[in-house]
Amino acid sequence: MGVYSYSKLDTFEKCKLKYKYKYIDKIIPKIPKSIEAHLGSCVHETLEWLYKQVLNGDVPLINEVIEDYSERWIKNYTPDIAINSSNLKLEDYFNKGIEFLLKYYLKHKPFNDNTLFLEEKIELDLLDKETKSENKIIGYVDRISFNEKNNEIEIHDYKTSSTMFQKEMTETSKQLAIYSMAAKKIFGEDKNVCLIWHFLAYDNEIIIRKNKEELEEVKDELIKLIKEIENTTNFPPNPSKLCNWCEYKDICPYSKLVC
């Protein structure tokens, strides 16, 4: 049985050579952690802490939330974290996190949306009826809640990126379909599921839903994609603007074409 993740499948679709470097050759790139990644992990961890307190019957004060974030920032920061922007300093990124959390706190307090799970592992089993091969897709979701009014399972994903996806882009993402099918496996096929992307930099959300036909279509696409991966022996590159942010650009001979 092959085990996949959304990011693994997405990597193959975007650049097969990167997939080879990462998942077949298992090359660990020698790159420093970015300040954006540090910011994202600190904000995610603080939001997880916040909802853990809520599940225990306590809604933290906003200053307690900021204190938790500040402690994580200091504890997890290392001097080798890279700041690539010429316009922003370390303090600017730190303040971004405070701004994200302040806006989120004020918008969602008292956080009574029936949170069920935090950082939950989900699994989706896929059976290729032609080859009888079984594969599994695993992933982790930031938060799962239950909307009683809509009788709907809500899967929450926090985004700290300064780029906000267009709704049309999110609707075509396989990630939602994977999460939806996995959630139905846990809570029942009759449950409606929606994915809520929280774009913290914009204090905005995008909510996406998939119907049964759309889920079946994506399921077939996933089975087809996995079959292609398992049958692939040649891994050509796909030079694009994404090469600028690729962790393998220093060893990839094709990245120089666009970087």
3-state secondary structure (DSSP) of residue 114? coil
| 239 inside domain | no
Give a yes or no: residue 238 inside a domain. no
One domain for residues 164 and 218 = yes
pLDDT tens-digit map of 40-52: 999 999 999 999 9
Residue 155 within a domain: yes
**Last residue of some domain: 48, 83, 108?**
108
Q: How far apart are CA 231 and CA 225, in angstroms?
A: 10
Q: Is residue 11 located within the same domain as residue 95?
A: no
Q: Specify the pLDDT at position 131.
A: 84
CATH of the domain at 184: 3.90.320.10
If asked whether residues 211 and 137 sit together in one domain, one would say yes
Q: What residue numbers bound the domain in which 56 lies? A: 35-108
For the segment 2-41, what is each residue's pLDDT rounded down to a tens digit?
999 999 999 999 999 999 999 999 999 888 889 999 999 9
| Residue 245 pLDDT | 81
Residue environment code for 116-148, b if the CB has 16+ CB neighbours within 10 A, otherwise e: ebbebebebebebeeeeeebebebebbbbbeee
Same-domain status, 148 and 201: yes
Rounded to whole angstroms, the Cα distance separating 127 from 27 reads 30
Q: What average pLDDT does range 200-204 have in this prediction?
A: 95
Predicted pLDDT at 228: 96
152 neighbors 146 (Cβ within 8 angstroms): yes
Number of domains in the chain: 2
pLDDT over 70 (residue 55): yes
Q: Would you say residue 95 lies in a domain?
A: yes
